[in-house]
Amino acid sequence: MMKKRLGFLVSTLFAASTMLAACGGQGGNNAGGNGKDTFSVAMVTDVGGIDDKSFNQSAWEGLQKFGKDNGLEKGRGGYDYLQSSSDSDYATNLNKLVRSDFDLIYGIGYLMGDAVKEVAKQNPKNHFAIVDTVVNEPNVASITFKEHEGSFLVGVVAGLMTKTNKIGFVGGMEIPLIEKFESGFRAGVKAVNPKAKVEVQYAGGFDQADKGKAIASSMYSSGIDIIYHASGATGNGVFSEAKDLKKKDPNREIWVIGVDKDQAPEGKVKVGDKTYNVTLTSMVKRVDVAVYDLAKQAKAGNFPGGKTIEYGLPENGIRVATTGGNVPENVLKAVDEWKQKIIKGEVKVPTNRKEYEQFAATIK
């Protein structure tokens, strides 16, 4: 009799535990299906960090907004980030977030592509996202932008506003992604001002502010009056040099074109009791919007694993900033005309140097 009762009790406990496990496995409102009632998201920066005033900072702003809009707290179980000091930190930081059980993990930047691919393959049940490149794994969503088109439009601004016909481009690393910025920019300048020359230099990194300042000093000394940078935190050095020169000679027309974020705040410089702004315009990539949108999809259970989401001019993922008020109306009108030509397919903006040479050959 005792054995029968004991057997019945064990059977009942086993059945109850099985039911609880099954209920727990259904998850809450998160895409991870790990039994939590909340959705957590985090990102790993590249070497630029969240205070680069550019790409990483924009991504973090988007993640913070998502967290706050959804009642999440910063930290484990909510929203968070890990900052990388070198490329050797990428995989390590991604794995730390995996162990912390975040539902969606972002790798921010082209340079993190290999690390995201490696960690995603090792953790097929986790969801990852990469910004600025494509990782072909079923548990990775890739976010890309048409940077070349936005760069073309700020090239139109530079080509129409240069007084010396000498323009500069400062890139972070000489990689295909930054070549898109360079080629699009040069094409925009060429389209409206064939006589202008664009000098191109690369700093060798996205966290080299001193190198950015040195390159800018050399360019401005040679008569260049507008520099477009696509270099992350390296661009802080370009702004620093432009502001130093403006302080020395407030009447000198010297400009920086910002990137990724609206960098008008970075161009402010006070000389005596007057405030100037050396930011001519910025090529804005709505990384914040893209990060927010994907997190929203993932939270709703619609994670687009294995897909590439591209943001361009029609989606307002790329735009030309006018915050500083330094671009006159006639130039803005020209920018809009070229924008419409690109959207309609009347102008094919080059994405690399070979395509640029082909484009330039059509300009008389």
Q: Above 90 in pLDDT, residue 362?
A: yes
Share of the chain above pLDDT 70, in %: 90
Mean of all residue pLDDT scores within the chain = 90
Do residues 205 and 344 share a domain?
Answer: yes
Do residues 96 and 233 share a domain?
Answer: no
Tens-digit pLDDT profile for residues 264-306: 999 999 999 999 999 999 999 999 999 999 999 999 999 999 9
Q: Above 90 in pLDDT, residue 35?
A: no
CATH code assigned at 104:
3.40.50.2300
Average pLDDT (101-127) is 97
Average pLDDT (157-184) is 97
Do residues 87 and 199 share a domain?
Answer: no
Q: Above 80 in pLDDT, residue 334?
A: yes
Cα separation, 84 vs 104, in Å, equals 18
Q: Above 90 in pLDDT, residue 130?
A: yes
CB 157, CB 322: distance < 8 Å: no
Cα separation, 140 vs 125, in Å, equals 10
What token pair was written down for 291?
């990060």
Q: Above 90 in pLDDT, residue 47?
A: no
Number of domains in the chain: 2
Average pLDDT (120-149) is 97
Asked if residue 319 belongs to a domain, the reply is: no
Asked if residue 223 belongs to a domain, the reply is: yes
Asked if residue 236 belongs to a domain, the reply is: yes
Do residues 248 and 195 share a domain?
Answer: yes
What token pair was written down for 160?
């129409």
What is the extent of the structural domain holding 191? 147-285+328-360
Compare 304 and 11 and report the one with higher pLDDT.
304
72 three-class SS: coil
Do residues 354 and 248 share a domain?
Answer: yes
Asked if residue 61 belongs to a domain, the reply is: yes
Q: Above 80 in pLDDT, residue 165?
A: yes
Share of the chain above pLDDT 90, in %: 84
Do residues 245 and 356 share a domain?
Answer: yes
Do residues 209 and 304 share a domain?
Answer: no
Average pLDDT (314-340) is 94
Do residues 231 and 337 share a domain?
Answer: yes
Q: Above 50 in pLDDT, residue 21?
A: no
Please report the beta strands in the chain, taking only residues with DSSP state E, as ranges in sequence order: 41-44, 79-82, 104-108, 127-131, 140-145, 166-171, 197-202, 226-230, 255-260, 268-271, 274-277, 279-285, 308-311, 318-320
Average pLDDT (225-234) is 96
Do residues 166 and 262 share a domain?
Answer: yes
Question: So what's the pLDDT on residue 28?
Answer: 33
Q: Above 60 in pLDDT, residue 74?
A: yes
Question: So what's the pLDDT on residue 34?
Answer: 40
How large is the C-alpha radius of gyration of the chain? 25
Closest CA to 257 of 176, 166, 157, 175: 157
Do residues 50 and 130 share a domain?
Answer: yes
175: left (phi over 0), alpha (psi -120 to 50) or beta: beta
Q: Above 70 in pLDDT, residue 8?
A: no
Compare 14 and 207 and report the one with higher pLDDT.
207
pTM (2 d.p.): 0.83
Question: So what's the pLDDT on residue 30?
Answer: 42
Q: Which long-range contacts (CB under 8 A, 24 or more apart) does 214-217 make?
A: 215/170, 216/168, 216/170, 216/240, 216/241, 216/242, 217/241
